[in-house]
Amino acid sequence: MKQVKGVAAIVPAYNEGRTVGLVVRVLQQSPDIREVIVVDDGSEDNTYAVAEAAHAKVIKVEPNQGKGGAMALGVSLTDAEVLFFVDADFINLTPEHIESVLTPILRGEYDMVTGVVDRGEGINKIMESVDDPFAGIRALKRDIWDRTPKEFKDGYLVDSGLHITAKRADKSIKNVVLHNLKQVTKTKKHGFTKGVLMYIKMWGEIGVKAFMFLWIK
């Protein structure tokens, strides 16, 4: 199969000063990634400074655009054939994790690969064989991004929007469990009350907009 080349890592970040530097430095260790773009999405902490110190290409946008808007801005700054989206709040990310997600794309074996965080042996086995449209780490051919309707790249819907678009276009999709990879919860980052409210907003937005998306032909 034809190999594809040219990978841009795009990291949407909102108040992720504690972890974004670690994520950027690991991404830069990959010989396959030609550029790391961090979109500081209206952060009120030191996200921009930390990402810049880690030598990423950083752009700050005001006010906060939401995850989908930040990802879209990142895409607009690169002509890479493969887009590698990575949330800024991962813990224990390694070069091996990156290779596991990217290699099937670069070999031309799959059109999109989603990385699944480690949730324990039992759940991991399930997640290897079922769809995970909400993963915070995924690599995909740019064609999938371009096919996805603009309105379904908005906010938290973007991950499921990309996934549904790929399924409809009969693109080949693979899930990869990334052992020992963890993600900081919203309640830990923002406190219990605010974190819960953010989860409610996220799942409400995904539920309403995804329902609309499924009815668009």
- Domain CATH for 139: 3.90.550.10
pLDDT at 64: 92
In a domain, 107, yes or no: yes
Q: What would the pLDDT profile of 115-144 be if each residue is shown by its tens digit?
A: 987 665 555 455 555 555 567 899 999 999
In a domain, 1, yes or no: no
Structural domain span for residue 44: 7-185
**Number of domains observed in the structure of the chain:** 1
Confirm if 11 and 40 have CB atoms less than 8 A apart: no
In a domain, 73, yes or no: yes
Stretch 132-159: mean pLDDT: 86
In a domain, 206, yes or no: no
In a domain, 209, yes or no: no
Q: In terms of DSSP H, where are the helices of 148-214?
A: 158-168, 186-190, 192-214
pTM of the predicted structure, to 2 decimals: 0.82
pLDDT at 73: 97
pLDDT at 182: 85
In a domain, 197, yes or no: no
In a domain, 158, yes or no: yes
Query: Which residues make Cβ contacts (< 8 Å) with residue 96, sequence separation at least 6?
Result: none
In a domain, 118, yes or no: yes
